[in-house]
Structure 1
Amino acid sequence: MDHDIIIYIIAGFIAQIIDGALGMAYGVSASSLLMGFGVPPAVVSSTVHAAECFTTGASAISHHAFGNISRDLFRRLLIPGIIGAAIGAYVLSSFDGEVIKPYIAGYLLLMGVVIIIKAFKRFPPREVTTKLTPLALFGAFMDAVGGGGWGPIVATNLIVRGNSVRETVGSVNAVEFFVTMSASITFFFTLGLDHWQVIAGLAAGGVIAAPFGAFLTKRLPHRPMMITVGILVIFMSARTLLKALGYWHWF
């Protein structure tokens, strides 16, 4: 087996463990690992999204098997998510998604702090049923335009509003498969697709890791899981802000 594809499989496995357990950060994790291994940024951007078609599908099946999905939440996020992703992918050629990313990162940074604060207070979980359509539209649009954002925007918002962490992570992960497929199909017809070895490696590693991520979601206690999600959101958001300001040069 080619040495490079082993690296891609490892990157896909690690990224999917993180995303499957916490509902976000596949793109950031996979991109960071690939660039750390010396893969050109242009290749990273196009291949990570394509590989997510496979990894998110495996993740959705795994979360369903472990009972982490709320059918009502899944159903209400699904259609607006698909539409938002298609629109975002279509307008990407004429709109620089990097312009708005620092503002989204600032919002998410505050949400990460709120999640950690709520982890140390006793709030009974409550089902979130309002403003799901605009949330899914915006999260999917930003995911396609900015190269990521579905999990951080949608899952973070739902958790902050009191929705069950386990059902949020499972449902958001499940809908992400359809969001990613919508964006990738649009990208394929507008921009084309290449670098299949990278895609295959990332997909293989992610498919292997998907059941483990779903298992962790079901088994992790509520408070440690919320704290971990909060820390991850803060780190990802701070990284985006510092990169935009020119102070982040590592990955």
Structure 2
Amino acid sequence: MRRLLLLALVGLGAQLVDGSLGMAYGVTSTTLLLAIGTNPAAASATVHLAEIGTTLVSGASHWKFGNVDWKVVAKIGIPGAVGAFAGATFLSGLSTETAAPLMSIILLALGLYILVRFTTFGLPKGNLGKPLRKRFLAPLGVVAGFVDSTGGGGWGPVGTPAILASGRLEPRKTIGSIDTSEFLVAVAASLGFFVGIGSENINFTWVAALLIGGVIAAPLAAWLVRHIPPRVLGSAVGGIIILTNIRTLLRSDWIDAPDNVRYTVYAVIYVVWAAALAYSIRAYLANREQERLDLETALASGPTDDEKAATPAP
């Protein structure tokens, strides 16, 4: 019973973070299952089965709050499902330890870009509103879906930073669209695992516990992402990406850093991340106050000559 309660709490916390920042449900939940002795394929299958429910509720919640771009969902979700099914069916037994550090370097670079860009300048607006092309989203979806099913998580960590870095979709819609399209990935991966390993290795009670926690958190996360300012949200996402991928690199065979080195690096990252978030919040509040003063000044000065000329005579 204690283990089931822990799984439910992990599902709740993981979905709260995932629905707010566009990543971490799979990685967090799979890590716990592996820590208690579940084999990798069964752990990934368990998480993806739970994600069918959590992503459905999360997607509906994001849609309700206007956080979803359905064109992006279709362009990235369908290729993502193909990649997830292939990974789960044919490659679930293949270790991704060799590829993980290389992927982490790429994601780390994207995370640094996002953290610096959003913290320093706020939401990039040069490309905002421009369409995201299928030739960009389709390969991204296949790779993210493959990594997600073989690694027990990765749809958000791969998809979210790549779309954010393009500057074409605001953070809340990036996160909402990634979370919504993950439903297709979860269904495809689950089908692939049923074909590859069957259902006998899956503990459906654990699936239910993770699902219940995630379903409870999904609507709250969708509400949060709509109300958190884009500048602050971008800084938060950037920090999560950096921390996650630094952890992967330091624990990989490439580096295999000792505990004292890893904990020191983590502490430095936390301090820098906290400072970046504080700066983003102060800058956002200052900009909002300036906008309020500008509006009051404009109202006090009355209509401009152009506005007077455009006003029809009585």
Give TM-score scaled by structure 1 length. 0.91
Identity %: 36
Higher RCO, 1 or 2 (CA under 8 Å, sep at least 6)?
1
Q: Name the CA distance, whole Å, in 2 between partners of 1:177 and 1:149.
A: 14
User: Partner of 2:300 in structure 1?
Assistant: none
CA 95–44 in structure 1, closer or farther in 2 if over 3 Å, else same: closer
Q: Name the CA distance, whole Å, in 1 between partners of 2:97 and 2:131.
A: 30
Q: Which has the larger radius of gyration?
A: 2
Q: Name the CA distance, whole Å, in 1 between partners of 2:170 and 2:37.
A: 39
User: Partner of 1:54 in structure 2?
Assistant: 53
8 A contact 1:127–1:164 mirrored in 2 = no
User: Partner of 2:74 in structure 1?
Assistant: 75
8 A contact 1:86–1:186 mirrored in 2 = yes
Q: Name the CA distance, whole Å, in 2 between partners of 1:11 and 1:34.
A: 10
Mapping for residues 127-206 of structure 1, pairs under 5 Å: 127-130=130-133, 131-162=136-167, 163-193=169-199, 194-206=202-214
Comparing 100-109 with 113-122, greater Cα deviation is found at 113-122
Deviations 1:179-231 (A, max 9, x none): 01101111012112321221111010000100011111111011110010000
Q: Name the CA distance, whole Å, in 2 between partners of 1:200 and 1:27.
A: 15
Letter in 1 for 2:89: Y
8 A contact 2:92–2:149 mirrored in 1 = no
User: Partner of 1:247 in structure 2?
Assistant: 257
8 A contact 1:88–1:145 mirrored in 2 = yes
8 A contact 1:155–1:169 mirrored in 2 = yes
Q: Name the CA distance, whole Å, in 2 between partners of 1:126 and 1:160.
A: 14
Deviation at residue 33 of structure 1 after TM alignment: 4.8
Which stretches of structure 1, 4 residues or longer, exceed 6 Å deviation after superposition?
Answer: none
Q: Name the CA distance, whole Å, in 2 between partners of 1:95 and 1:23.
A: 26
Q: Name the CA distance, whole Å, in 2 between partners of 1:48 and 1:226.
A: 26
User: Partner of 1:40 in structure 2?
Assistant: 37
Give the length in aligned residue pairs: 247
What SS class does the counterpart of residue 175 from structure 2 fall into?
Answer: helix
User: Partner of 1:121 in structure 2?
Assistant: 121
Give TM-score scaled by structure 2 length. 0.74
User: Partner of 1:91 in structure 2?
Assistant: 90
CA 160–49 in structure 1, closer or farther in 2 if over 3 Å, else same: same
